[in-house]
Structure formats: C-alpha cells, structure tokens
Chains A and B, each alone.
Chain A
Amino acid sequence: MLRLELRGEMSRSMIYWSPFFAVILTFIAGMIMFAILGVDPLKAIITFFIEPLNSLDGIAELFVKATPLVLIAIGLSFGFQANVWNIGAEGQLTIGALAGGGVALLFFNVDSPLLMPGMLIAGVLGGMAWAAIPAFLKTKFGTNEILTSLMLTYVGLLVLSYLIHGPWKDPEGQNFPESRLFHDAAIIPIILEETRLHFGWIIALFGVAIAWVVMTRHMIGFQIRVIGMAPMAASFAGFKEKHIIWLTLMISGGAAGLAGTIEVSGPVGQIIPVISPGYGFTAIIVAFLGRLHPVGCLFAGLLMALTYLGGDNAQIEMNLPNAVTGVFQGMLLFFLLASDVLVRYRVRFGAAKKVTAGEGA
C-alpha cells in the first residue's frame, strides 16, 4: 500500500529543480518509447531536440515559435497565481489576431509608422475584450471562468471562420478562405536578416522583464500573490477580489491578443483559418513548467517551442507521426506534476509502518 506523507519543510531549491528532472525523465521515457516503436532512440532524440538548433535559421525559428508561447504564458501566470483560471487564451489570441489584423485590412496600403503600433494595441484590446466576458460573468454571477473562457475559445474560432469565409475573404484569392496578404507597413519588422526572426521576440523579452518587476516589486503583483496564497489575508488587508479577477483576466487576455496580432503580422502575414497550432493551450503547460515565474516562462517557452520544431523535423527526417509533439508535451507536463508531488511529499509504504510499531512492542 502506497501512501504520500507531507515532507516537513519543503526545499525551495527543489521547486526550481523539478522542471529539470521532468525534462530528463521526458528524454528517458521518450527514448524508451522510440525503442519500442523500433526507431533508434538516440537518433530520434537527436533529430527531435538537437538538429533543429544546428543552424542560425533553426535558432531564429525557435525564437519565432517561442514568442507567442512566452507572451501568453506570462500573462496566464498572473491569473494562475491569483487562482483565476483562464483556459481560453487560444480564443483571446484568435480575437486579438482578428482585431490587429482587422486594423491592417482596414488601412490596407496605408503607409504610416503608426499602423504597426495601432495594430498591436488593437490586438491587446481584442484579447482583453474576449477575456472581459468571463471576467464579467465571474464577478457578476459567480460563473466558473474555466468553463466560460474555454467555451469562448470555440466561439472565437467560429468568428474567425465566418470573417475569412465572408466579409474579409481576399477578393483575388480564388475563393480560398483567407484574407488578403498584409502590405509591408502591416508586417512586423525582421530583426535578423535571412531568417524569420521578428521584432515580436523583443516584445516578448520586454514582457518578461516587465512582468518580473510587476510581480516581485509592485503592489499589483503583491496583491495577486496574497490573494492566491491566502484569500482571507487579502480581504484582511483590504484587497478586493473582484478587482484582481478583472485585472488578471485583462492582463492574460491582453497578452494573448498581443501574441495573436504578432502571429498574423509576423510569420503568417495574413489571416488564415488556423492562426495558431494551439499556442494558447500549450502556454498553460509553459506557465506551469516555468513555475508561474516570468523568467521560468521564458525558458519553458523555448523548450516547448523546441518540441514543435522537433516534431516537424522528426516528421520530415524519420517519418514519425506529428503526434510525437503532443506526446512529448504531455510527458513533460506529466513528469513535472509528478516531480512536484515528490518535492512536497514522500512516498511511504503503509504496511512497513506497522512492522516498526510491532518491532518496538
């Protein structure tokens, strides 16, 4: 019989080490899985995790993929720390992309240095607007934000589908459900020649720095942490829970909307039926893998981006199914949660204890 027993004092450093254990265990489990599939495990791991980073182009691509993950994850971390569970970042990303992309289409062929900032702001507002719905429902009627935010994701995807099948369809696009290609002023600038690395990465790094300062040094972060750890202490200090629900949903929705706009105006360059390969959901794993800490989210975002690249590479090089990406992401989360449990608890064998008591007798 197995039992979990709470460890006396939790080791602080172990909390930060557990993601590394999770990564190593994922590697090992992945190799076992490949071996069972009849694939050379070492070659598979190299193809998956090393080869994508062999070239400058590959590293640039890693940053490109990490940009939305990091942005969304730091936004979500604010909410998660306050026990506000926004699961609908994918929907907020979609609406943000539509708002930012809509500005680009509205001012098609307008060359103004203000267009890009305008698009980004519109993207943030779009994401916020979508997150405002669960915020309103929760503060007004006590609705569970997990359900509302998740369900709104599918509504958001339908809005996207409607727009590109109808009003926003490219008139010269041979009836494909896509918007027209954005003009140059609406494309986010490339910061490294010959690659796709764009200014969005700089925005993400800024986001990390700002989030870090707000979380550790500012009253906003303090309130969020208190309300997450001890809601009664928050009301004792006079922090208002409703304010925090609104604030965190606006931060996470805005960050997701920003990431959406950066996607459509960066790597994609137009509005297409599938804007994101599930960045909004993967960012949840990133947030937890990064310990809800902005810097942690940065590294976790890079790692998750690597699983996307590795999955693509494994498909091309070794004919492995694309599902491998999902398997790796799932294993990472699983091992992380397992390591966390073991940091907090020790495993005891229930039967063994009786024997010790008996020996004393």
Chain B
Amino acid sequence: MTEEIPRLELEGITKAYPGVIANNNVSMKIMPGEIHALLGENGAGKSTLVKFIYGVQKADSGTLKWEGEEMIIPNPNAARKLGVGMVFQHFSLFDAMTVEENIAIGISKELASGDLNQRIRDVSQQYGLPLDPDRYVHTLSVGEKQRIEVVRCLLQDPKLLIMDEPTSVLTPQEVDELFVTLRALSEEGVSILYISHKLQEIKDLCHFATIMRMGEVVDDCIPAEESPRSMAEMMMGANLVSPEKPGKTEPGAPHLVVRDLSLASSHQHGVDLKNVSLEVRKGEVLGIAGIAGNGQMELMQVLSGEKLIDDPSAVSIGNEAVGKSGPKIRRNAGMGFVPEERLGHGAVPEMSLWENAFLSGSKSMNLMDKGFINIKGSVDYALNIVSEFNVKTPGVQHTANSLSGGNLQKFIFGREILQCPGVIVALQPTWGVDAGSAAFIRQSLLDLAANGAAVLVISQDLEELFEVSDRLSVICEGELSPPRPAEEFTVEEIGLLMAGLSHDHQDEEVAHA
C-alpha cells in the first residue's frame, strides 16, 4: 500500500493573478480510492487549484503527475480523457431538456451513442442514484439535478472525481445518500477530491484533508482524528470564538407580521409563495431554513419592498401595513435589510464605502440636506461602521469591491444595525464569509435581538440557524412550516421538512407502521 503510485500528485503549483497570488507553491498527493478533502475559507485558493487540475487554467509553475507520469492538462477535454470528472457547484443543465439529452450533450460522441438510456439506468442503479433518464430537468429537485451531474461523470469511468461544495444544495437525507455513493466509489478505487467548508461532513466522509489559507497549504490532517472546531481553527489560523446567546429574555409583541401572503412568481422557473404567514416578535430571532430556490429570494423581495403586493396588510411592521410600500417607506418604519448578494445588491461595487453607507442610511442617519449629500456626515457614519464592526479596510474612500467578502458583509451589517432598526431581515447572512467574520455577524444579530429588535434570518446553513434562532420554520416550495422553538427540532426533522415531507405525510407513515 505504501509503495502505491499516487493517482494525482501536485508539486509546487504557483499561480499569480494580477495583484494576488492565488496559489503559492502548493503540493499535495491523492491516492487511488482516497477521499481527500480540500479545506479553506473563501479566497484561500481552492477553486484556482481545482481549475488547474481540470485543465481550465494553467499554472505559472509547478508540476502535475498523473499516475506517476508528469504531464500538462491543456483543457477539460484532456482532463476527461485522463479520467478526471468534475461536479460543479453550479449545474450547467438545460431545464427544457430531458435527463438523457442533458447527459448526452455533456459527454463525448462515442459515449453518447447507442444505448445511453439503458446505461444511465444501470449506473444510477449500481450506485444508488435513482434517476429517470426520460424526465424533464425542470421537474427535478436540486438533489436530483446534482445526480445528473454525478451520473454524467460516472458514465465516463472516472479515476478522480472532483466535487465542489456538493452538499450546499442538499437536505441532510440527500447528503447521507450522496455519501453512500461516494464511499462505494472509493471502495472501487476511484479517488475523490472533496471541496467543502462543512467540517462535520468532512470529518464523517474524508480520509485525509489538505488545508489551505491565502493560497498556501498551511496544514494537513486526518479528519476523523480532529474536531470540526480544530479544523476551523486550522483554516482560520486563529482561535474561533463562537457566538453566545445573551441571557434569555421574554420576547415581546409581534413586530414583523406577514399574513396569508400568496404571490405568483414573475420568473418562469421562480417559486410561487403560497399562503405564507409569520410573526417575528421583538427580542427574538426567527430562523427560516430551506434549500436554496424554495422561495427564499421571493420572500425576501416581498419583505424588503422590492416587490410590492396588492394587499397592504399582508406585511406589517408594528401597526403599520406596508405591503404596498417601497423600501424607503419600510426603512422609515424601522426595517433594515441584508440581501444575499453583497456586491451589486447590498452594496455598489465601484462606489466608495462612504457612498455605500449613504446608500441605505441617507434618510435615517440624516445624511441629506435639501437633496444634497452631506459628505462629511456620510464619511463619519462610514468610519463609525468600520470601527464598531471591525471592518478591515485602509479607508472609507476605498471601493466596496476592494473588501474581502467577510469584511464587506460586516460593513453591510454594520450599516443596517447602526440605523437602529426595529426589524432586520437577513438572507444567507454568512454565505461565503470567513469563519471569523461569520461568528462576529451572528453575535451582532443575537445582540440586536437582545436589545429588543425583531430579527428574521433566512438561511441554508442549519448550523447557523441553530446557533442564532429562538424559533425555527422551514420553507419548501414557497410554503412555510409552522414555527417551533429551535430546541424542539432535530436535524432529521428539519431535513424532512426541507425535502417537502409535511407533517400529515409523516403521520400517515406512522399510521401505516
């Protein structure tokens, strides 16, 4: 076993982009049948390295050995010929075509010809990936769509399978099913390079982990011998401070109320909201879990006033019905928002930080004088955000896109929180944010609630939701489950709700059993 030739060996890979070194002297080995985790915060250089292995990008220097042989992979086609398969985080599927057609256009002609339909059925059965080749893609769940990508790779008999954040769109049950498949592949000798920042999963699944920070390999470990916390600290290079819930306070009166909200989506593949009702009380955090694409975006738009509804009383803040009012009026009523997209939605990328502070604070922070911008006031406000929320930036004249994801998210949170909102609504508050900033942001949400604000957090990250929420609800296909205290939920239960198996359903099953 020790004399075995590594499937893939990288040595001294360096890749510099203008102004930043994405990979600096990266070396790693992946053995046949090994499930190898590539761990690191956003911007640590994981994607650059993977792009190099898959032939999408060339390195400035360094060598790649495939089964002991030194070579250059010039493009993804060559990579596929060698036996490298990749499942991307974002699927490249055509909704209006069937599963078989989608698979056929992604593989070579020889493979696509003949009894493709049967082979898809065989592979999906062999590896426990139920998939009907004749179904149209738009009728499939996200988990099923991912199976298409996996099956597409498997049809090409890969020797190395690269998976980029594969579980971010799956329910806990779907994750378990995927892991069964991956373990089976590993036993057959397929190597798997597994990229994720979900540490518990890596501990459960992976044989070995390479940890990257700022483009360099900083550490490696055997995940089974580590704890998620110790791996997080290796990733950050610092000690992790987890948020603490301040002393339990009795929640106050309902402050943000949504009543019987139904809304047909304006997008063809969007999600309709069906009869959504919720109440967020003063001083509590309500968490909404759900797999991306189940109506979270739509709900956020309705709450923020970017999408208006005919019935004003469908959304109210305190006693004010605001369903028909735009974002400005809602802000005046004391609402703050943190959208999912930082660059381009929550902030204007090419504008300076002080202008971005002005963007949402113009009215409530009194930064406007007869229509003119109070520049000094805006700069002071931005400086205040930077110092109170630990934003690392050389100055508030710098543009928003010069900040790292975590720093910009702290800035946006700071901007909203310093306006002392009575209600704050955040969508995916720590998505793609480094662990240190994420902990900071969660803590500030808890503090805000402790000070009497109603906080609504919509997120895919269950760990996050359990950490901050007092009550939890699950959104699935535009429907919201009745909220219950967070401690009453188990992860399994939430998983079932995320997959759309409602209570009646479960009761039925229980009755059958």
Name A residues whose Cβ lies closer than 8 Å to a Cβ of B.
Answer: 5-9, 217-220, 222, 225-226, 229-230, 232-233, 235-238, 240, 346, 353-354, 356-361
Which of B59, B327, B341, B368 has a CB less than 8 Å from the CB of A237?
Answer: B327
| Least CB distance, B24 to chain A, in whole angstroms | 14
| Least CB distance, B473 to chain A, in whole angstroms | 24
| CB under 8 Å from chain A, chain B span 322-377 | 326-329, 331, 337, 339, 341, 343-351, 355, 358-360, 362, 368, 371-373, 375
Asked if B239 is an interface residue, CB under 8 A from chain A, the answer is: no
Q: Are B326 and A238 in contact (CB under 8 A)?
A: yes
| Least CB distance, B279 to chain A, in whole angstroms | 25
Cα of A291 to Cα of B147 in the assembled complex, Å: 49
15 A-B contacts, Cβ less than 8 Å apart? A5-B18, A217-B375, A218-B372, A226-B359, A230-B343, A230-B350, A233-B344, A233-B346, A236-B346, A237-B359, A346-B18, A357-B72, A359-B61, A360-B60, A361-B70
With a CB–CB cut-off of 8 A, which chain A residues contact B328?
A: 237-238
Q: Are B326 and A240 in contact (CB under 8 A)?
A: yes
* Additional A-B contacts beyond A9-B402, A226-B351, A361-B72 (14; CB < 8 A): A5-B18, A217-B372, A218-B371, A222-B355, A222-B373, A225-B348, A225-B351, A229-B349, A230-B344, A236-B337, A238-B305, A238-B326, A238-B328, A360-B60
Q: Are A7 and B72 in contact (CB under 8 A)?
A: no
With a CB–CB cut-off of 8 A, which chain B residues contact A225?
A: 348, 351
Name B residues whose Cβ lies closer than 8 Å to a Cβ of A.
Answer: 12, 17-20, 58-64, 70-72, 74, 304-306, 326-329, 331, 337, 339, 341, 343-351, 355, 358-360, 362, 368, 371-373, 375, 402
Q: Are A229 and B351 in contact (CB under 8 A)?
A: yes
Q: Are B58 and A229 in contact (CB under 8 A)?
A: no
Secondary structure of the A contact surface, majority rule? helix
Q: Are A229 and B360 in contact (CB under 8 A)?
A: no
Q: Are A236 and B58 in contact (CB under 8 A)?
A: no
Q: Are A236 and B72 in contact (CB under 8 A)?
A: no
Q: Are B341 and A356 in contact (CB under 8 A)?
A: no
With a CB–CB cut-off of 8 A, which chain A residues contact B344?
A: 230, 232-233
Cα of A43 to Cα of B128 in the assembled complex, Å: 82
Cα of A6 to Cα of B19 in the assembled complex, Å: 11
* Listed residue (A226, A240, A361) with the most chain B CB atoms within 10 angstroms of its CB: A361
Cα of A143 to Cα of B63 in the assembled complex, Å: 55
With a CB–CB cut-off of 8 A, which chain B residues contact A217?
A: 372-373, 375
Which of A8, A219, A233, A238 has a CB less than 8 Å from the CB of B372?
Answer: A219
With a CB–CB cut-off of 8 A, which chain B residues contact A8?
A: 17-20
A226/B60 contact (C-beta < 8 A), A233-B359, A235-B306, A238-B327 known = no
Q: What 5 pairs between A and B have smallest CB-CB spacing?
A: A8-B19, A8-B18, A238-B327, A360-B61, A238-B328
Q: Are B355 and A358 in contact (CB under 8 A)?
A: no
Cα of A78 to Cα of B345 in the assembled complex, Å: 22
Which of B59, B304, B327, B358 has a CB less than 8 Å from the CB of A360?
Answer: B59
With a CB–CB cut-off of 8 A, which chain A residues contact B61?
A: 356-357, 359-360
Which of B59, B306, B331, B371 has a CB less than 8 Å from the CB of A357?
Answer: B59
